[in-house]
Amino acid sequence: MMNSKEWETKSLEVIHKVRQEIDEEISRQGISPAQWIRTRGKVDVEKLCQKLGLNNCRIAKDRVKARV
């Protein structure tokens, strides 16, 4: 149970750090969050899963809508 708490705490710290960096970038550029998301482009979900070490996940491609 303790490992679960430690992992949860560390992951929340990482999430807050990334969110802070994103907020700083948005305010530096002077754009809205929606505009910032659009400028980021498409995300390659398979590549992201590999980077995160999620080798046993299955991506439901028919459910993912392409952004135009």
Question: pLDDT tens, 11-57?
Answer: 888 889 999 999 999 999 999 988 888 888 777 888 888 888 888 87
Nearest to 36 by CA among 45, 44, 46, 27: 27
Nearest to 44 by CA among 30, 61, 32, 31: 61
Q: Which residue type does 43 have?
A: V
Inter-residue contact 47 to 33 (CB < 8 Å) = no
Inter-residue contact 36 to 26 (CB < 8 Å) = yes
pTM (two decimals): 0.53
